[in-house]
Structure 1
Amino acid sequence: MPEGDTVWRTAQRLNQAFAGAELTRSDLRWPSLATLDFTGATTLQVVSRGKHLLHRLASGDTIHSHLRMEGQWLIADAASARPNAQTRAFLSTARWAGLGQRLGMLDVVRTDDEQALVGHLGPDVLGPDWDPARAAANLAAAGTTIGAALLDQTKLAGVGTLYAAETLFLERLNPWTPTAELTDARVARLVERAHRLLDNGRRHAVQSTTGSTRRGENSWVHGRSGLPCRRCGGGVRVAMIGPPTRERTMFYCPSCQGGLGSTDDGRPQRPLGSTRRR
């Protein structure tokens, strides 16, 4: 799932293409929105809120989208852009077109009512409302494991499985540690680390927490189960974390991060994408 830095960059590109321009075409390919037409409306701005995108119009409406696992917004020349079977939203000005592909969510609300869609979110790690003290307090009071709390968008918005795993690894913290066992100072350092990683990520097209943008070298543990830890040489592992029906994958190094997670059965793990020989 795209994380906060990717969504932030998407909002920046859409804003550059649409802000101040009139829509010459509006095609929302979503059952509940198919009859809406914003042709002629002028875009005020496009902003991100955590992993959510808010396309605000001068008409007083907001087109809200969420990329979920596979969604993306493509920007193309309006003269040649064509929607296809994967297009869920097609917006165009005289110059640029935006194609919302495989979107996970698409809504239209009055701009004054945006809170109905994003009001539940915690402080946005990359937003103007960023408040590290509030984010740290939210995590400390979560009453869950710290890994699950980091992934809970109501505690702080924008951190996904990549940055949760990388933040916890760099802080040498076991993802399954109960938040109640962490000192305020430890949680504050964790929040600062997460912010630093995402703030760096939004400045680059390729996400990297290691300093290298080479494929296969840009993360410490995320996506590296079954491979040697870059720090200690032990095996990186993956296990599920979070409440039932909302579990997420968590990559970690037991040697560097205080042992096996409580949901990890300890069985040998092969690198992702590998297959056994017959």
Structure 2
Amino acid sequence: MPEGDTVFLAGHRMHEALAGKTLRRGELRHPRLSTLDLAGLDVVAVRTYGKHMFTRFSDGNSLRSHFRMDGAWHLYRPGERWRRPAHQARAVLEVDDRQAIGFALHDMEFVPTSREDELISHLGPDLLSPDFDAAEAVRRLTENPSRPIGLALLDQRVMAGVGNLYRAEVCFLLGVLPTAPVSAVDPARAVALSRKLLQANQWRPEQITTGDRRVQHYVFERTGKPCLRCGTRVRSGEFETRFVYFCPKCQSG
């Protein structure tokens, strides 16, 4: 599942490529939106919040897209070969010098721009927002102290942006297993670590949590490899339908 920093960077690149330009082609290949033709509209801006992206148009409407597990927006030059199969394309937004192709976007809505906030009102504070409300994120995180921290971190209603990668890395840095209760951690530190890791990677495609490009992650997708701190082999297992990664020595609970 794409993390909040992946969506943020994709939105920034889309904004740079499309904002202020007129669509020469605007197709939405979605059952509810397939009759819409966006050609002729200007792209006003591209905004992200957590894992949601809003592409705003000059007619006062916005296209909301959510990446879910395998969605992505790619940018291409005219005539450049797409890196994913054409049958996966759910949106084609083309200006004179660029193409933005939305692949495997299962969640798309075309709504008045004035309604954007309604669609994300249930979400917690966006970890990459300059106006991030840490106190509110802590309040939401501690509402259910018996809840497993690994589930709370993934809950976008607590704070928006953490996916499975950062869940694993934050739990490692906190020294607890994903199954440990929220009450076993310092909630302010959990929130601060989540924001710090996403901010460290928001302007690059690589997601490095260790500070070292040679070994980018502490435990995520490192099953069977030695823990960078103690040398114990990293383990993994299924927890609530998702895989978790952890060091059985460095993490407790």
Fold shared, TM-score > 0.5 on shorter chain: yes
Q: Which runs of 4+ in 1 moved over 4 A?
A: 79-83
1 CA distance for matches of 2:173 and 2:191?
A: 12
Q: Percent identity?
A: 40
Task: Give the aligned residue type for 2:117.
Answer: Q
Tell me whether 79-88 or 92-101 shows the greater mean CA deviation. 79-88
Paired residue type of 1:67: F
The corresponding residue for 1:50 is 50
- Tell me which residue corresponds to 1:172: 175
Amino acid at match of 1:226: G
- Tell me by how many angstroms 1:250 deviates: 1.6
Do the aligned residues in 2 keep the contact of 1:234 with 1:253 (CA within 8 Å)? yes
Q: Distance in 2 between matches of 1:51 and 1:16?
A: 19
Classify the secondary structure of the residue corresponding to 1:109.
strand
Task: Kindly report which structure 2 residues correspond to 1:58-207, keeping only aligned pairs within 5 A, or say none.
Answer: 58-78=58-78, 80=80, 84-143=86-145, 144-182=147-185, 186-207=186-207
Structure 1 residue 181: deviation in Å? 4.3
Q: Separation in 2 of the partners of 1:181 and 1:189?
A: 12
Q: Is the 8 A contact 1:28 1:88 kept in 2?
A: yes
- In structure 1, C-alpha distance between the alignment counterparts of 2:224 and 2:19, rounded to whole Å: 46
Q: CA–CA distance in 2 between the matches of 1:252 and 1:92?
A: 43
Structure 1 residues 115 and 96: CA distance shift in structure 2, 3 A: same
**Within 1, Cα distance between the matches of 2:106 and 2:46?**
18
- What's the CA shift for 1:46? 0.4
Q: Is the CA contact (8 Å cut-off) linking 1:122 and 1:154 kept in structure 2?
A: yes
Shift of 1:81: 6.6
**Greater Cα offset, 229-238 or 1-10:** 229-238
Q: Which amino acid aligns with 2:162?
A: V
* 2:219 pairs with 1:221: yes
Partner of 1:240: 238
Please say if residues 136 and 191 of structure 1, whose CA atoms lie closer than 8 Å, have aligned partners that are also in contact. Answer: yes
Aligned residues: 250
Which residue number corresponds to residue 22 of structure 2?
Answer: 22
Note closer, same or farther for the CA distance 1:221–1:14 as it changes in structure 2 (3 Å cut): same
1:212 Cα deviation after fit:
2.0
Residues in 2 aligned to 1:162 and 1:190: alpha-carbon distance in whole angstroms: 14
Compute the RMSD of aligned alpha carbons: 1.7
Name the CA distance, whole Å, in 1 between partners of 2:17 and 2:144. 39
Q: TM-score, normalised by structure 2?
A: 0.93
The amino acid that maps onto 1:250 is V
- Greater RCO structure (CA 8 Å; 6+ sep): 2
* Range with greater deviation from structure 2 (73-82 or 105-114): 73-82
Question: What is the one-letter code of the residue matched to 1:235?
Answer: R
Distance of 2:110 and 2:203 partners within structure 1: 29
TM-score normalised over the length of structure 1: 0.85
CA–CA separation in structure 1 for the residues paired with 2:155 and 2:222: 23
Partner of 2:229: 231
* Structure 2 CA distance for aligned equivalents of residues 90 and 147 of structure 1: 36
Please tell me whether the aligned partners of residues 141 and 179 of structure 1 are also in contact (alpha carbons under 8 angstroms).
no
CA distance in 2, matches of 1:249, 1:44: 39
Which runs of no fewer than 5 residues in structure 1 stay unpaired?
260-278
Structure 2 unaligned spans of 5+: none
TM superposition shift of 1:127: 1.6
Secondary structure, aligned partner of 1:85: helix
1:60 positional shift:
1.0
CA distance in structure 2 between the aligned counterparts of 1:256 and 1:239, rounded to whole angstroms: 16
- Please say if residues 180 and 252 of structure 2, whose CA atoms lie closer than 8 Å, have aligned partners that are also in contact: no
The one-letter code sitting in structure 2 at the alignment partner of 1:111 is T
